[in-house]
Amino acid sequence: MNNLGTALLNRFERRGNLANIDRAISVEEDAVRLTPHDHPDKPRYLSSLGTALLTRFERLGNLADIDRAISVEEDAARLPPHDHPDKPRYLNNVGTALLNRFERLGNLADIDRAILVREDAVRLAPHDHPDKPRYLNNLGTVLLTRFKRLGNLADIDRAISVEEDAVRLIPHDHPDKPTCLSNLGSSLFTRFKHLHDVASLNNAILAFSAAARSSAGPSSVRLRAALQWIRCAHLIPSESLLNAYALAIDLIPQAAWLGLPLQDRHRELLVRAADVVRDAAADALARGYYNTAVERLELSRSVVWSQLLQLRTPLDELQSRDSTLANRLRQVSYELEQGSGNDMIRIEMKNDIKLSLEEQVGRYYGLAMERETILSEVRCLPGLERFLLPKTVSQLAPSAHSGPVVILNASQYGCDALVLLAESDDVLHVPLADITYDQVQKLQESLNQLLSENGRVLSPMDRAIEFSPINRSPDESFKLILSVLWKKVVRPVLDALALSTPNAGELSRVFWCPTGPFSFLPIHAAGLYDDADTGPKLSDFVISSYTPTLSALALPSHEGTTANTMCLAVVPQPASDGLTRLPGAQIEIGHIKTMLQSSPSTPVSLVESIGTVDDVLTKMKESDWIHIACHGVQNAHSPLDSGIVLAGGRHLMLRDVIKLARRRGGLAFLSACQTATGNEDLPKEAVNLATGMLLAGYGGVVSTMWSIKDSDAPEVVKSVYEQLFQDGNLPDYRQAAKALHYAVKRLREEHNVPFVSWASFVHIGL
């Protein structure tokens, strides 16, 4: 029964299903109850129950769980005699539970007692005990915690001392070595912040760098160490900063793609990694390494952005090419990430045979070597030569085949534009010297406030919303935001591209790839909108599209349609969803039908969905284009649950869309609110349904950055489709950006709608 509980706990930690942890606790309670008090395995069963209760507390925060975890761990520690080999482990577990409760409630008695029991664990463990370094390291952790609360220098000095002992005792290639080094670095850095002792800071850098460079240990631990190393190296002149950034960049794919559950701590790590990648790009730019900056930013967008959403990983392509290699790599990587000496569950499942320090090192070294062997085999496959390595600029340059691609980097160390041109492997660097990261953030915050005041963000789900009366004109606020974007962001880029005068003829395309807070600003609408509306505007110079990554602009290997006809699926708002009706949705569909009927020679067949989730997914898979005119919803707390409201109030969610396996190409027209909106939980990444459509295989997407007015959408839809279908031939989805450009221009100029109405419409992709 105890073993069953352990297996259930393992599955919970892998998949996060609460039913598993609840059942694990239940069967472990039965194991404890059925075991006599004097049975030699009673302490182990109690400890297993305590571990499961603590795990559930960490997930749900129920105080009853942590109180009971402490109680059963104390029972486990009391039962064995002092010379029992497992006594130190049980005492250490008591300390872990007490530390968790202290961090939740702040009761000093808990942290004092945690220190006492962990001191006992260290004292009782023989010098050659395989877990001695871990007990020393854990004692240092609680001493550091108490120092942060009380500021007693004796605590931080002792924490450093015992953590140095842990580092000395643990072998070089042991999987726990990076953790011990990182904890030592944290204590040294804390001492520096308290005393401004430069020697402590230098030693912290040495500890963090050694942890990050380690050949052993989970990649997530080493990435955290690299991030701390960067933080420290910025505080003093340090030649190690360039190496720290480079190592962090190398570790991101390893920490991100391994197929592990994206628990909160892992997700948070990747958000911080995205910040650091932008800082790394700024550092590379300051050194004149423009290509390096682009490669780092693309890595951030293609790995971090995808993994935050649990989207496609590099393993998907390998799986389709060689499933045996993919499965081997997945399993070995998982064991490397989870198989540290801290994993008591793994040790217990090895028939209670404790591995010595040397045996643990040998096992981990074997796994690491096997992973390198597998990676070497993978990189021998055609097209996978740089598997889990950043793409080079020469590989990324073809992304600019339809027009310049402008990456907007926002870092606390500077804002810059990086331009890729199809005819050149050289990156054009445009410093955005007149705007700072804080100013970009303030622009984003101002826009959010403006939209909220106008009812455009307050409601999580709407398309037919009416404007709320306010005391000031929102257009004036929009003018200010768009003028700042024009003067400080867009105009410098246009000047660098020699686009200084409006083009009276055919406009060229520009693809914007914004990062950080730039991701939530309407770059496409930048301009000077004076009272006479005669000021320069970006739309006078170019047709703007967005892209989440450079790789997303790669040309498909084949067209979305293989015949001389195409199928367009339309999804009008279903009648049974219980929400406000959208008269405009039916008008949109009517425009499309009328247009096709008036041109019977156009080789397009129209199919209409019944509006259920299953039917819409089927239509998406079977049709070439799709037009959705429904209520949209952006889930502020779970990006994967954002999507479209369909029949019966059910949602077509981002998590459903990204599972589609459809042929590449075609247009997705999302005439719904907030389908290109950002997410408050991931404030530095644009996570939405529109970019998910690209991952599902669509070549281009028309979408909205915020809520739209129901009467505006039909005007835009009519104009876009008239342009796309005007010659009676098979339409090209790659002309959608141009069609949207002129449709929005007409809406703004002829219908005189406010900024909040027309600036929401955007094009993403090719």
The residue with tokens 């003067």 is 487
Mean pLDDT of 133-161: 97
Query: Cα angle vertex 160, ends 342, 57, to 5°?
Result: 40
Specify the 3-state DSSP secondary structure of 679: strand
- Per-range mean pLDDT, top range of 588-592, 670-674, 687-691: 588-592
* Domains of the chain in sequence order: 1-125 (1.25.40.10), 396-552 (3.30.420), 562-765 (3.40.50.1460)
- Judged on CB neighbours under 10 Å (0-12, 13-18, 19+), 542 is buried
pLDDT at 638 over 70: no
Strand pairing of 405-411 and 643-645?
unpaired
pLDDT of residue 630: 86
pLDDT band at 723; cut points 50, 70, 90: very high
pLDDT of residue 303: 62
pLDDT in tens, 353-374: 456 666 666 666 677 788 889 8
Strand pairing of 414-420 and 428-431?
antiparallel
pLDDT band at 350; cut points 50, 70, 90: very low
- Judged on CB neighbours under 10 Å (0-12, 13-18, 19+), 266 is middle
pLDDT of residue 456: 47
pLDDT at 469 over 50: no
CA proximity to 617, closest of 655, 566, 580: 655
% of the chain surpassing 70 pLDDT: 84
CA proximity to 171, closest of 159, 162, 180: 180
CA proximity to 405, closest of 209, 301, 204, 545: 545
% of the chain surpassing 90 pLDDT: 52
Among the ranges given (34-43, 357-366, 636-645), the one the predictor scored with the smallest mean pLDDT: 357-366
Neighbouring C-beta atoms of residue 593, cutoff 10 Å: 13
Specify the 3-state DSSP secondary structure of 355: coil
pLDDT of residue 577: 57
SS3 content of the chain, % helix, strand, coil (to 5): 55, 10, 35
pLDDT in tens, 262-294: 444 455 566 677 788 899 999 999 999 999 999
Are the C-beta atoms of 210 and 181 separated by less than 8 Å? yes
449-457: long-range pairs with CB below 8 Å, 24+? 450/474, 450/477, 450/478, 450/481, 450/756, 451/706, 451/707, 451/756, 454/756, 455/707, 456/706, 456/707, 456/756, 457/677, 457/706, 457/707
pLDDT of residue 673: 66
pLDDT in tens, 128-146: 888 999 999 999 999 999 9
**DSSP track, 55-67:** HHHHHH--HHHHH
pLDDT at 524 over 80: yes
- Judged on CB neighbours under 10 Å (0-12, 13-18, 19+), 454 is buried
pLDDT at 394 over 80: yes
The residue with tokens 């904890």 is 183
Two tokens, residue 391: 């793409």
Is 650 or 436 the better-scoring residue by pLDDT? 436
pLDDT band at 708; cut points 50, 70, 90: confident
pLDDT of residue 258: 47
pLDDT at 344 over 50: no
Mean pLDDT of 221-236: 94
pLDDT in tens, 529-538: 987 778 899 9
pLDDT in tens, 407-438: 999 999 999 999 999 888 889 999 999 999 99
Two tokens, residue 469: 């009366």
Handedness of CA 655, 757, 679, 315 (dihedral sign): positive
pLDDT at 594 over 60: yes
- The pLDDT mean for the chain works out to 84
**Amino acid identity for residue 516 in this structure:** G
Neighbouring C-beta atoms of residue 490, cutoff 10 Å: 29
